A and B are shown apart, each in its own frame.
Chain A
Amino acid sequence: MPIKWVLHWQPNPGTTVNTQILTEVSQCVEGINGVKEGRWKATLSFYKPMVREQANATEFPRDFLGISLQEQPNKYYLVIRGQRLIVEADSTIQTIMEKLQSYKTRVALNFEGFQYQLGDFQLRVGKVVPIHSESLRGIVMEMEYLPISSWEKSHQIMGEFFDIWQEALSKRSLPGHFVHIEPNFAEYGLSDEYSSQHTAAQYASIMAQMIATAQSAQAARN
């Protein structure tokens, strides 16, 4: 499977993400000759433990996520990020979780937008919005390099493309920049050969980062 970097937008301190930034980013992709192809979407849900004694709720994970990816329409990914646990299951695992009633989905987010072809790269620009809402919570990008499936082997070319992209975007003087966090895939038991589980791990890391950013922005306001 081709390797992919998932990036997220880090607003400058004191600023927030807005749809104008999203528009500028999309225009920048087209400006470097990205050809718009179609829509894409991923979803991420937070699972909350249902407990009888609220005091003991901390014995259960608070970072249990469920992720669906467009590239795997019949699969669903469950991640407990703090324990570096990830499983790939059929989509029916969602029905199983509903029937068990031990965990319920608390918040669900859509990552959605347009896909662009740029030579051997596929770029996806997406807004992060809660399901049933248009309130923008973030911006993500996927940078996919089709010829290579080895994470190690792809590092140099991905780094170079990322630099080109950052430079093109910097000309627009936007109040923030894209960040790439590379999870330690080995900690998740994942190999060098790229897979959708690697993508799910990157989305889980991004969520942790976005939550941390939102919490520190909230603290600064308080």
Chain B
Amino acid sequence: MECVVQGIIETQHVEALEILLQGLCGVHRERLRIHELCLKSCPNLGLVSSEVRLLCDLEQSEPTWTVRQVGGAMRGAGAEQISVLVRNTVESKISKDALRLFYALGYRLDHELLRVGFAFHFQRGAQITVTVSSINKMLKLHSTDEAVPVTPGIQLVEVTAPASSENYSEVVAAVSSFCEYLAPLLHLSKPGISTGVVPTAAAAAASLMSDGGGATL
């Protein structure tokens, strides 16, 4: 299970966001370069169609692969009241022939993209990960060297935290609380609920850049 919120930020304010995150998290950022392949089952396979994602981490000296299955989001009145998406996910590390295997099993490439940016991993009431990345599409199949931004000038910010059915309320509270610190720069909400950029972002970013992160917003 995981808790997720997303938001967007203009690329020009990313540096300010990084300063803010550095100050809040107290850890160094890690570079992020992930080739994400979204596979869908071919028409005859499965009584219902299924989707699986292969993630190849290109930042490592030797590319490492993970397979990820994203399940349904928590539903009901309780779920609607919280501002964080809670959904089932399962991940597994997998060796390099994963794509060949899923093709052989009857899965087809639906789309692929390249996420380039950075991530912060830290503990603050929950194990939280913040990623800031540009989403890029490949001009040629699997060609990660020839990728162009899907939305030039805009980057995606994602805040995620693993959770279980026993502790998701605490994790939701931790993620929500953390997101409040980012409010001057960006608004984070459930994936699929778009809120656009934040009007105070430019002023907040200027403040961060001039202070170098020394003062609070």
The CA-CA distance from A100 to B41 in the complex, in Å, is: 9
Q: Which of A49, A83, A95 contacts B45 (CB 8 A)?
A: A49
Say how far A195's CB is from chain B's closest CB, in angstroms. Answer: 10
B94 & A102 in contact (Cβ 8 Å cutoff): no
Closest chain B residue to A80, Cβ basis: B104
What are 22 pairs between A and B in contact, CB < 8 Å? A50-B47, A51-B44, A51-B46, A53-B44, A59-B106, A60-B45, A60-B105, A61-B105, A78-B101, A83-B100, A85-B100, A87-B94, A87-B97, A87-B98, A88-B95, A92-B91, A99-B88, A99-B90, A101-B50, A102-B45, A102-B105, A197-B95
Per DSSP, chain A at the interface is mixed
Q: Knowing A49-B45, A61-B104, A102-B106 are in contact, say whether A96-B97 is a contact too (CB < 8 A).
A: no
Closest chain B residue to A52, Cβ basis: B44
Q: Knowing A61-B104, A85-B97, A101-B50 are in contact, say whether A93-B44 is a contact too (CB < 8 A).
A: no
Residues of the A chain whose Cβ atoms lie less than 8 Å from the Cβ of B107: 102
How many residues of A sit at the interface, in one of the four size bands? 20 to 34
Residues of the B chain whose Cβ atoms lie less than 8 Å from the Cβ of A85: 97, 100-101, 104
Closest chain A residue to B106, Cβ basis: A60
The CA-CA distance from A61 to B67 in the complex, in Å, is: 20
Tell yes or no: B199 within 8 A of A by CB. Answer: no
Interface size on B, residues (CB 8 A): 27
Over the window 83-109 of chain A, the binary record of Cβ atoms lying under 8 Å from chain B Cβ atoms (1 yes, 0 no) is: 101111111110110011111000000
Tell yes or no: B61 within 8 A of A by CB. Answer: no
Tell yes or no: B193 within 8 A of A by CB. Answer: no
Which chain A residues (19-71) contact chain B, with CB distance < 8 Å? 49-53, 56, 59-61, 64
Say how far A49's CB is from chain B's closest CB, in angstroms. Answer: 6
Which chain B residues (70-116) contact chain A, with CB distance < 8 Å? 71, 88, 90-95, 97-98, 100-101, 104-107
The CA-CA distance from A36 to B107 in the complex, in Å, is: 46
The CA-CA distance from A222 to B98 in the complex, in Å, is: 41
A103 & B105 in contact (Cβ 8 Å cutoff): yes
Q: Which residues of A contact B (CB under 8 A)?
A: 49-53, 56, 59-61, 64, 78, 80, 83, 85-93, 95-96, 99-103, 189, 197
Q: Knowing A61-B105, A80-B104, A96-B69 are in contact, say whether A89-B93 is a contact too (CB < 8 A).
A: yes
Closest chain B residue to A77, Cβ basis: B95
Tell yes or no: B52 within 8 A of A by CB. Answer: yes
Tell yes or no: B48 within 8 A of A by CB. Answer: yes
Closest chain A residue to B99, Cβ basis: A87
Closest chain A residue to B48, Cβ basis: A101
A50-B47, A53-B44 known; 15 new pairs, CB 8 Å cut-off, are A49-B45, A51-B45, A59-B44, A61-B105, A80-B101, A85-B104, A89-B92, A89-B93, A90-B93, A91-B92, A96-B52, A96-B92, A100-B50, A101-B46, A102-B106
The CA-CA distance from A49 to B91 in the complex, in Å, is: 22
The CA-CA distance from A17 to B76 in the complex, in Å, is: 56
Closest chain B residue to A86, Cβ basis: B97
4 closest Cβ contacts across the A-B interface? A102-B46, A90-B92, A93-B92, A100-B50
Q: Knowing A56-B44, A61-B104, A85-B101 are in contact, say whether A100-B69 is a contact too (CB < 8 A).
A: yes
Residues of the A chain whose Cβ atoms lie less than 8 Å from the Cβ of B98: 87, 89
Residues of the A chain whose Cβ atoms lie less than 8 Å from the Cβ of B97: 85-87, 189
Residues of the A chain whose Cβ atoms lie less than 8 Å from the Cβ of B104: 61, 80, 83, 85
